[in-house]
Structure 1
Amino acid sequence: MIDLHSHILPDIDDGARSMDMSLDMARQAVENGITHMVCTPHIHAGYFDNTFKAIEQSYILLKARLDSEQIPLQLSFGAEVRVSEQIPSWILHNEIPFIGKFASRKVLLLEMPHSHVPVGIEMLIKWLLENNIQPLIAHPERNRELLADNGKFEWLRRTNVIFQLTAGALVGRFGAKVNEFALKLIQERKIQVVASDTHNLTKRPNDMAKAYEVVAMLNEDYAKEVFYSRPASIVIRSDNIY
């Protein structure tokens, strides 16, 4: 499997707290059948002010340790970027790493607040698409406004974004309501990618293997699409394209 969303880089956001934890998370990913993981630490102004350079340096260190420990996990890097009016400026100044390409567009992993859909997000999405950037919305199943009003999901979908669902949502890690919504989105085939969004080994572990089983029970061909073929097509064409 290809995992497009992870917080495995050490001591850079609310994910892995140390290099040892990063290595254990990498081993857990391999146990889940993951062959390639994209490191996507938060870029969230005022909370996680990560820069392209800081992310790249952390990635290089982790990659070297995986090689020395002979952990068979390939890495690339990007970022999970919180919706902000600063995003166009960051992009114009080459300050955001993308995770790959989708239909010839660079892919930006875009995070909304968990509480709501930000006012004006459609204008940001329009700007991104006009600038050859494909927004990939992270974990829509956990957004409380989308949970309360599924019609709002359809409105967002019509803006031509694509969606990444979290594996843990499919195995009940975030509660019954999130699980129900996640399964509904899978059954209606409205999700383009499933990823782990792993942060640690226990509370936010890598649930990809169990999540794959859930989706495969419903539709095995679709499971292969959202866990294997589409993520692979995004990341294989990336080589950290910026």
Structure 2
Amino acid sequence: MIDLHSHLLFGVDDGAQTLEESLALARHAVADGIRVSVLTPHVHPGRYENSRKSLLPHVGAFQSALDAAAIPLQVRLGAEVRIGLESLELLADDDVPFLGEVGGYRVMLLEFPHQTIPVGSQQFIERLLQWKIRPLIAHPERNKAIMAQPERLLPFLELGCWLQVTAGSIVGRFGDASRAVALQLLKNGWVHVIATDAHNLRHRPPDLREGVDAAAAIIGEAAAWRMVTERPAEILGVKLT
């Protein structure tokens, strides 16, 4: 499986804080069946001052540590980019890591605030699309505004956004409300990929398989597995073996 959203890279955001934590998360991911983890640190100007230039050295060092520890996990650099004007400035400077490219559009993991959909979000996304950037909206089922009105996603879907739902949400790790919305999004056929958004072993581990199994009960096994194999592989530009 491929995990397109994780916070395994230590010391750069609210995910793993030490190399030992990162390696423990990586071992857990491999045991769960994950073979590729995309490291998606928060890019949130004013809170997490990450950029492509600042993160690249950390990724190389982490992959070397994984190899030295004989942990068979491949890591790639991406980012979870907070919606906002400051992020547009980073994008204009070409200093944001993308997940990959599909159909001429670079794919970027985009995060809304947890409570709201900010005013101007549609205009922000229209600008991204003008720049040939396709947003993959991170964990919409955990956004309070969307939990209250899932149909608020429709304008973003119509623009061409994709959705990434958290595996833990599908099994209820984030509460009944987020689970209900996650299941509704699956039933509607709105979900493009499932990922872990792993931060730590205790509360937010890199457990992807449980989400796939739960999704399979809703949309069928083949469709659920595509969300953690074929679709993320297409985004990353890798061949499945």
- Report the counterpart of residue 225 of structure 1 in structure 2: 226
CA contact (8 A) 1:90 1:96 kept: yes
Superposition RMSD in Å? 1.3
Task: Give how far 1:29 is off.
Answer: 0.6
Task: Give how far 1:237 is off.
Answer: 5.3
Task: Find the aligned partners of 1:11 and 1:86 in 2 and give their Cα distance.
Answer: 22
Mapping of residues 1-242 of structure 1, within 5 Å: 1-218=1-218, 219-236=220-237
Task: Find the aligned partners of 2:162 and 2:213 in 1 and give their Cα distance.
Answer: 23
Task: Give how far 1:159 is off.
Answer: 2.0
Q: TM-score, normalised by structure 1?
A: 0.95
State the Cα deviation string for residues 43-87 of structure 1 (Å, max 9, x = none): 111111112222111111100000111111111101101001123
Task: Find the aligned partners of 2:90 and 2:150 in 1 and give their Cα distance.
Answer: 31
Unaligned ranges ≥5, structure 1:
none
Unaligned ranges ≥5, structure 2:
none
Task: Find the aligned partners of 1:115 and 1:48 in 2 and give their Cα distance.
Answer: 19
Q: 213-222 vs 129-138, which deviates more?
A: 213-222
CA contact (8 A) 1:185 1:191 kept: yes
Task: Find the aligned partners of 1:140 and 1:194 in 2 and give their Cα distance.
Answer: 12
Task: Find the aligned partners of 2:148 and 2:175 in 1 and give their Cα distance.
Answer: 15
- Counterpart amino acid of 1:177? A
CA contact (8 A) 1:8 1:199 kept: yes
Task: Find the aligned partners of 2:4 and 2:146 in 1 and give their Cα distance.
Answer: 22
Report the secondary structure of 2:108's partner residue: strand
Q: TM-score, normalised by structure 2?
A: 0.95
Task: Find the aligned partners of 1:50 and 1:169 in 2 and give their Cα distance.
Answer: 27
- Counterpart amino acid of 2:154? E
- Counterpart amino acid of 2:215? V
CA contact (8 A) 2:45 2:87 kept: no
Task: Find the aligned partners of 1:127 and 1:63 in 2 and give their Cα distance.
Answer: 34
**Moved >4 Å (runs of 4+):** none
Report the secondary structure of 1:15's partner residue: coil
State the Cα deviation string for residues 101-142 of structure 1 (Å, max 9, x = none): 122211111100010101111111111111111111000000
Task: Give how far 1:25 is off.
Answer: 0.4
